[in-house]
Structure formats: C-alpha cells, structure tokens
Amino acid sequence: MSPLRSRKRRSKLGKVIMMPEALKRIRGIHARSKEFNKRVGMPHQERLLDLMRKHIDEIETLARAGDPHYLVETGDLLILCYELLLESGASIDEVTLKCFERYEKKLKQLIEGLGDEG
C-alpha cells in the first residue's frame, strides 16, 4: 500500500494535519454524500469532480465581484477535495504533507530561478 493510501490517523512522520474530530466529520459527510449519490445512480467520484468544477467557477465569479462569500465556497471546495481523497482511500494527512513538501520545493526552485530579476 502506498504511504499516501495509509488509513492511520497519524502520518508516517508522526504529524497530524487533520484533527481527529474534523476527520470524523469529513468521514461522516463522505459517507452520507456517497450514499446519496448511490441512491440517485451517480458515480460518486464523477459527482465530486463535477461539483469541484462548479465550485471553482463560483469562486472565480464571486472573487472577481468582490463578494467575500467566495471564501465559504472555497471551504466547500476543500471539503470536496477531502472527500475525493477519502474516496480514493488516501490519507488526508499523508497527501497534505506530501503536497507541502512539493509546493515548498517548487516555490524555492521558482524563486531561485528568478535570480536577480525579482
């Protein structure tokens, strides 16, 4: 099993990103969402991706208009992302830690690539 697919609450590095109560709530949301999509005959992953696209469009529209509600919609998108990770059997903690490392490395490379330009 890939380390990103770990079901343990604590990551292999011993760091917890998602607090236990929040993880419990996300899992509950995911279970209800999956049950709903099953009842209406919609593949769950397909529905999550569709909702993500819709939320991105809404976030862009609201942010451009200066409507602070885009922040709530961004939170909704975050929940959908967590659901997609759980649907794939991934560990939210492991994926988040991996992404922190990737972003930090990439940003460092981009900044160093600017040299004296920036």
Q: What is the pLDDT of residues 35-87, one digit of tens each?
A: 999 999 999 999 999 999 999 999 999 999 999 999 999 999 999 999 999 99
Q: Is the pLDDT of residue 1 over 70?
A: no
* Of 40, 69, 23, 13, the residue nearest 61 (C-alpha): 69
Q: Where are the domains of the chain?
A: 18-90
pTM across the whole model: 0.83
| HSE-CB for 71 with a 13 A CA cutoff | 3
Q: Work out the pLDDT band at 3, boundaries 50, 70, 90.
A: very low
Counting residues of the chain whose pLDDT is more than 70, the rounded percentage is: 86
